[in-house]
Amino acid sequence: MKTTIETTYPEFDLLEASIDRDLSYNNYQSLKPAQKGSLISNINFDFSYDKWVSFNNGIVNEDFVATKQVLGKPLVLSFYSNYWNGKGVDYLKQLSSLSKQVKSNGGNLVVVSAEAVSEDLINLAFENNLSLSFYFDPNNSIADQFGVYSDNDPIWNWFSGIDNNVPLLSTFVISAEKSIVFNHNYRDYAETLPANELLNAVGESAYMRKLLLSA
């Protein structure tokens, strides 16, 4: 007579699963966004006219001219791509809602994107009444400098549904002395930008800048 032994296995929770990245890459390096307190070397903006576009209440601001003075104040630097779809649109809308307060607090706000100006962006700005300035960085060199883009750790390792390697949705506040005084990186779709913390960082940095200049 045969005896049947039943083996009971523990239930498997999909949340316990993790993605095994291909660590066979010799040059593999995980995304490591720059952190508060880090010093940033020169941000190499190209101030050519075709690298910038600015919107005021959804309309292209034809009088906008980017100059190096953008670096003379606390700078809110945000990374965006249209491949983030609806989450990216929500991100831009929140940044736009903060843009006037950023200026009132003594700062500047620039959105960095690898995608050049297009009818889609113009329509998006109009439909959502955006007031934002965009800088186009086709090689993602600035995103790489801030650790939110890497060829060796593409964004689809972190978020499903994105088939193009684009920068992580991220926002930094950089003081005029080139120190990061605020950073926020989206790690899941439910996150929102901590607006008060961002605005306080801009205001405090601008105040310290005035003290240094008056000393």
- For the chain, domain boundaries: 30-214
The residues, ordered by sequence, that sit 6+ positions from 195 with a Cβ below 8 Å of its Cβ are 94, 97, 98
Q: Determine the pLDDT at residue 29.
A: 62
End-to-end CA distance of the chain: 95
CATH 3.40.50.300 assigned to domain 30-214? The reply is no
| Whole-number Å distance between alpha carbons of 167 and 144 | 8
pLDDT at 20 over 80: no
* pTM, full prediction: 0.84
Percent of the chain with pLDDT over 70: 86
- Which one has a higher pLDDT value, 85 or 9? 85
Q: Determine the pLDDT at residue 168.
A: 93
Burial letters for 76-96: b for 16+ Cβ neighbours within 10 Å, e otherwise? bbbbbbbbbeeebbbbbeebb
Give the mean pLDDT of 128-132: 98
Question: Can you name the residues that pair with 55 across neighbouring β-strands?
Answer: 60
